[in-house]
Amino acid sequence: MIASLVDRFGRVLTNRHAKGYGPFEARQTAVLVLTPQNDAVIEGGGLAGLCEVPIDRQKLSNFLQHCRDREWAIYHSPMSWSDDQLQIPIDTTKHMDALRKNDLLRKGSTGAELAEDLVLEGDHVLPERRGFNAFVGTGLHELLREHQRSRVIVAGGVANADTDSSARMAVEYDFDVTVAKDLVASYSRIDLANTMTITLPRIVARVMTGHEIHPR
């Protein structure tokens, strides 16, 4: 009963934000793609094999192509880790623990390479990050300001890890933030529902599907 009421409340918040949706101006809009790498999007394996809700690679690829057709700027934020970096305590990050235990997104591995069908010429590729937040150590904030991008659409990543962290930071930097809720992965459907219907609607401007962002 309580879960049903919470879900209903989350949907009300989402719908309220969606009503304020207006056309994205090409010169102002940036799309932030989190972890566009082989391990994160390979079907039936890699990170997708650990997630109850994996990223739909074809859907994400199609979405990005529509963004390019509209001349929206695309910024890719890859993530990797290595044994020589400072170890994050396992009990504080389920996502990082899963990556290390399954040897996913290891720096220099094939799985950490950019997915060729997602990252195309003309896109911006940020320096690899070691943590969840795409704004830390990548110069993303400065690039967005330099390119006069005031609206950021977040796609990719894991819902309650890098997606949540990067979207929150974008809000803190005073960007107008939209999260593409059906273009992210999640270890469980419950995690995805909590992030997209309860947590993020209280923080970002909009939580929408890719189709709602690109009505066709």
pLDDT digits (tens, 9 = 90+) for 109-136: 999 999 999 999 999 999 999 889 999 9
User: CA separation (Å) from 145 to 57, 180, 209?
Assistant: 29, 22, 26
The answer to whether 77 and 140 are in contact (CB under 8 A) is: yes
- Rounded Cα gap, residues 164 and 131, in angstroms: 12
Q: Could you tell me the pLDDT band of residue 90, with boundaries at 50, 70 and 90?
A: very low
Beta bridge pairs of residue 75: 32, 124
**Residue 107 domain boundaries:** 2-19+27-213
3-state helix, strand, coil in the chain (%, to 5): 45, 15, 40
pTM above 0.75, yes or no: yes
The answer to whether 35 and 105 are in contact (CB under 8 A) is: yes
Q: What's the number of domains the chain is made of?
A: 1
**What CATH code is carried by the domain that includes residue 65?**
3.40.50.850
- Rounded Cα gap, residues 216 and 23, in angstroms: 13
Lowest mean pLDDT among 84-88, 123-127, 172-176, 197-201: 84-88
Q: What is the pLDDT of residues 128-167, one digit of tens each?
A: 998 899 999 999 999 999 999 999 999 999 999 999 999 9
Under the phi-then-psi rule, with left for phi > 0, alpha for psi from -120 to 50, and beta for the rest, what region is 196? alpha
User: Residue 177: CA atoms inside 13 Å, Cβ hemisphere, count?
Assistant: 23
Selection from 133, 180, 120, 128 nearest residue 153 by Cα: 180
128 or 7, which is more confident: 128
The answer to whether 191 and 160 are in contact (CB under 8 A) is: yes
